[in-house]
Structure formats: structure tokens, C-alpha cells
Amino acid sequence: MSVRVRIAPSPTGNLHIGTARTALFNWLFARAQKGQFIIRIEDTDQERSKPEFTTNILEGLKWLGLDWDEGPFYQSQRIELYQQAIQTLLDRGLAYRAYDTPQELEARRAEQQAKKQAPRYDNRHRHLTPEQIAAFEAEGRPAVVRFKIDDGRTISWNDMVRGNVAWQGSDLGGDMVIARASGQGKIGQPLYNLAVVVDDLDMAITHVIRGEDHIANTAKQILLYEALGNTIPTFAHTPLILNQSGQKLSKRDGVTSISEFQAMGFTAPGLANYMALLGWTPADGEELFSLDEAAQKFSFDRVSKAGSKFDWDKLDWINSQYLHAMAVEELLPRVVPYWREADYAFDLEGDRDWLETLVALIGPSLTRLPDAIDQGRFFFTKTVDYSDDAKAHLQQAGVTEAIAAIATALEAGANLETNDDVQSLIKQVVKDQGVKKGLVMKSLRAALMGDLQGPDLSTSWLILHQRGFDQPRLQAALALT
Ligand code: GLU
């Protein structure tokens, strides 16, 4: 039987990293097993679901590279199917209408709480007589539909992550509501557990891979699978992503949605790589891999039961590895929006060669894409501010002469196109001025960069020279000597 898995996000918020990681595990499993990955949008909650969240979720999955084979299917378009299933359960006596009012339920819950009992429905409308039903109907009381849960039942399954899991029927809170309240014998809005099971059966889902916060739902859903189709998928409950204090990562922890990570300048392959390591370790211990490589190695026996702590340092490290290894042609278009945002003046087409040289220079020192703003700033302006260290160096003996000699050589049209040209010009100055090479290099760095540290001097100079920014900086430095 071919593997069919699904991700079923509710569009009540932007794509959360937890959902994206679950989607990733589904995707990896589908690709590893040569199966199908399906998207289903669980938008039955009309008040909280918003189309812009659906868009954000689909775009986030696409951006991460999690392509799907079927869907997106929308639960809001499948309500009739769920209502039919509910009707079947009613007809077969596996579900019933319950007429308890919200006030009655609330009063009973308060009583249970006062006795320190777990809240549960006491199943009191399971056996209403036809007269009682008629009386409630005549009163015009709306009814929910409840599915019968056998308290004496032990529900167990062999979880691909957690091994054998068992739940007592009595721990599921009594007969469960599968349709919201509706009057006049109608079936109200179908609820999550019912809709999931109808869809998973209809879509022939073989493996349900989702967060461990759904374990109690799984126990309930197994009863519904038995009632509606008698084929039960295999389950894998993936560990939660935790914050630094070991709690489930939530909105309160700041950045949690994929679009925010994207805006912070993480790359899609870097973020996806990091997310795969949140709960999974490949057998070979590799930490850097593409999604396709991960798919070749993925299996649930290497997914941990324990929650995984979100680690910004590790994410930064992985992202930096992707940025450092990225070809200039790929990196430039990713950096350009940040430079535009910073208002740097350049012409993407006319300056392309120059921009590519610059990107090649700074690429190896980027951790996140916006770092390119600071690292690039220096190359887009004619002048530069001088640090105290640079100013102090410019006061040293021999510095004026060295800088002046370079300025003169430039004035005379010295050829400066390659690193070799730079080296021979420096050599010439060392010889003519009788000064140490170290002094010339340091003076040049101070004069051109305004600081004593920075990227490769020779390449930086060439980049500045191409813009004509070296001569004005040499002159400005001379004024400080
Ligand atoms: N809509 C549910 C969620 O977003 C889906 C759970 C499931 O995979 O069944 O958590």
C-alpha cells in the first residue's frame, strides 16, 4: 500500500514553526517512502479562520520547499460529507442528540471542580425516552450530537515515535460532541475530531504524523475510525518544540512564524535543515543536508520522544553555512532587497560585476541576510568615518608618506584591476619609501576602511577603486595625519 500522509493546518494564524516542522516530517516520510504528501486546510472554525492565514501557510510551505502532491483541500467545502457521517452514526445508534444547555453543563462542571474531579460529561442524555426528546424539541432546545465513548474500553496503538500508547475510555471526558448545537433536528457545525476522521478515511491517509499535543485526540479518533471505516492509520506523534525554559514554544516567545524567520534573513534551505534537526538525528550524525538528502535518510526510529529546545545559535550557525556556501549569483538577489531598504545607491544591471565582487567578499561573513547591510555600508559611500584606533594609527611616523605615495601613484593612473596589481603597487611603495610592508598595509587599511579591522584589504580596495572611492578616502586620511 502506498504511503499517503497529510498536513492539516488550521488557518487561525500564520504558519507556526511547530506546524512547519510537522509538515517537514510528513514530507520527509512521504519522500522517503515514495508516497504522497497532501495538504488539507482545516478551516471549519469560521470565526477564527482567515484567508490571509491560508495564504501565509501555503506560501510558507512552498518557500521551505515542501511541495505537495494533492490539495489544498478545504474542510469548509466538505461540510456535507461530515454531516452525512454524523447522520450515519445517529442512524446506527452510535451517536445521539444531547439537549443539555450550556448553563446546565457549566453548573455540572463547577460541581465537579469543587469535588476536585476531572471535568466530564456524565452521558445523561444517552438514553432519553422518545417522550423526553419530544419535550425538549417542543421547548425548542438546540441539541449537540454526541458520539458514545465506552468508558471500559482501553484504546491502544503502536506509535511510530512513542511505541505502545494506551488510553482509558474513561479518561476521554465522556461522550464527545461531534457537532455543535442546532435546533429543529438539524445537524450543527461538525467538529474537529469528526471532520479529521472523515477526511483521513476519504483521502485514504495511511499515516497520521502530528504533534504530541494531539495524543488524546488520537484516542478519540480511533473510536471514530472504527465506527466509520474500520481502517485505522498508523500514528506518529512528534515531540514539541520547546523554549529555553522547557515550555512549548509559543507566540509569547517572540518569533514563531515562518514568515518572521524569512523576514529575519534566514534562508529556506538553512531553516528547513535546522527544523529537521528539531527532533530527528540522521544515523550518520550529519548536521548539514538538503531536504532531498534528508529524505533519503529519514525514518521515525530516529525521531526522539523528548521535546527539542529551540536553539538560536545552532540555527544561526546552520544558516551561516548556507550563506557561506551560496554561489554569488544566488546570494546577490537575496542581499539586494536589504541594500535597497538601506537606501544604498547602485544600479543592479549596470553595476552587476561590481556587486558580485562585493557579495563574494562579504558572503563568507554573513550569518543572516540583513548582516549584509552593515557589511556592505562601507562600500556604498565615498567617505568613511574613522575609528579612534584608525585615527591613532594615522598619527604614526611614516604613515603620511606611505599614503601620499599611494595617492600619487593612483593620480598617475596606476593600473589596479587585480589582487596582483594591488600587491605590486604596495611593493613599489615599500621599496620607494623604505618602510615596512606591515606599516603600508595598516595605513592603507586605516585610510580606506576607517578602521584597523575588516574584510580582505586587497579585494576591498579593488571594490572601492572601481567606484572611485579610494582616492577621496586617501585624501581624507591624509588630512588626519
Ligand atoms: N488542524 C489540526 C492542527 O492544526 C490538525 C491536527 C491533525 O493533524 O490532525 O493542529
pLDDT digits (tens, 9 = 90+) for 419-475: 999 999 999 999 998 999 999 999 999 999 999 998 999 999 999 999 999 999 999
**What is the CA(210)–ligand 1 centre distance, in A?**
7
**What is the CA(213)–ligand 1 centre distance, in A?**
10
- Relative orientation angle of helices 437-449 and 419-433, to the nearest 10 degrees: 120
Give Cα 140 to chain centroid, integer Å: 48
What would you measure as the largest C-alpha separation in the chain, in angstroms?
Answer: 114
pLDDT at 142 over 80: yes
251 is catalytic: yes
Which atom of ligand 1 is nearest the CA belonging to 200?
9
Pocket lined around ligand 1, Cβ cut-off 6 Å:
8-10, 42, 196, 210, 214
- Relative orientation angle of helices 470-478 and 437-449, to the nearest 10 degrees: 100
Backbone angles phi, psi at 125, to 5 degrees: -95, 10
Q: How far apart are CA 284 and CA 132, in angstroms?
A: 66
Burial (CB count <10 Å: 0-12, 13-18, 19+), residue 193: buried
Give pTM, 2 decimals: 0.91
Residue 427, pLDDT score? 95
Burial (CB count <10 Å: 0-12, 13-18, 19+), residue 16: buried
**What is the CA(93)–ligand 1 centre distance, in A?**
28
70-88 pLDDT, tens digit each = 999 999 999 999 999 999 9
Poorest-pLDDT segment among 166-175, 181-190, 276-285: 181-190
Task: Answer yes or no: are the C-beta atoms of 398 and 432 closer than 8 Å.
Answer: no
Identify the active-site residue in 62, 186, 251, 427. 251
Q: Which residues pair with 7 in a beta bridge?
A: 39
Residue 244, pLDDT score? 87
Residue 1, pLDDT score? 76
pLDDT at 176 over 90: yes
- Report residue 318's pLDDT band, with 50, 70 and 90 as the boundaries: very high
Give Cα 330 to chain centroid, integer Å: 21
In which order are the strands placed within the sheet that holds 176-182?
Answer: 95-98, 143-147, 176-182
CATH architecture of 388-480: Orthogonal Bundle (1.10)
Task: Answer yes or no: are the C-beta atoms of 452 and 446 closer than 8 Å.
Answer: yes
Residue 143, pLDDT score? 97
Quickly list H helices, 115-256. 130-139, 192-202, 215-228
| Cα angle, residue 448 at apex, residues 445 and 451 outer, rounded to 5° | 55
Which atom of ligand 1 is nearest the CA belonging to 9?
4
**What is the CA(74)–ligand 1 centre distance, in A?**
13
Torsion angle, alpha carbons of 332, 334, 336, 341, to 10: -160
**What is the CA(10)–ligand 1 centre distance, in A?**
7
Q: How far apart are CA 360 and CA 335, in angstroms?
A: 11
Class of domain 251-323: mainly alpha
Which atom of ligand 1 is nearest the CA belonging to 7?
8
Closest C-alpha residue for ligand 1 atom 6: 8
Class of domain 4-72+195-241: alpha beta
Which of 10, 26, 212 gets mutated to test ligand 1 (max ligand atoms within 8 A of its CB)?
Answer: 10
Task: Answer yes or no: are the C-beta atoms of 395 and 388 closer than 8 Å.
Answer: no
Residue 113, pLDDT score? 95
Answer whether the bond into residue 72 is a cis peptide, omega within 30°: yes
| CATH code of the domain occupying 326-379 | 1.10.8.70
Identify the residue whose cell numbers are 543536508: 289
Give Cα 362 to chain centroid, integer Å: 26
254-267 pLDDT, tens digit each = 888 999 999 999 99
Task: Answer yes or no: are the C-beta atoms of 442 and 452 closer than 8 Å.
Answer: yes
Q: How far apart are CA 476 and CA 149, in angstroms?
A: 83
Written as nine digits, the cell of 321 is 553555512
pLDDT at 372 over 80: yes
- The arithmetic mean of pLDDT across residues 164-171, rounded, is 96
Question: Domain locations in the chain?
Answer: 4-72+195-241, 80-194, 251-323, 326-379, 388-480
Written as nine digits, the cell of 353 is 560585476
Superfamily of domain 80-194: Glutamyl-tRNA Synthetase; Domain 3 (3.90.800.10)
Which of 27, 42, 212 gets mutated to test ligand 1 (max ligand atoms within 8 A of its CB)?
Answer: 42
Q: How far apart are CA 184 and CA 179, in angstroms?
A: 14
Which of 191, 196, 218, 221 gets mutated to test ligand 1 (max ligand atoms within 8 A of its CB)?
Answer: 196
Residue 481, pLDDT score? 85
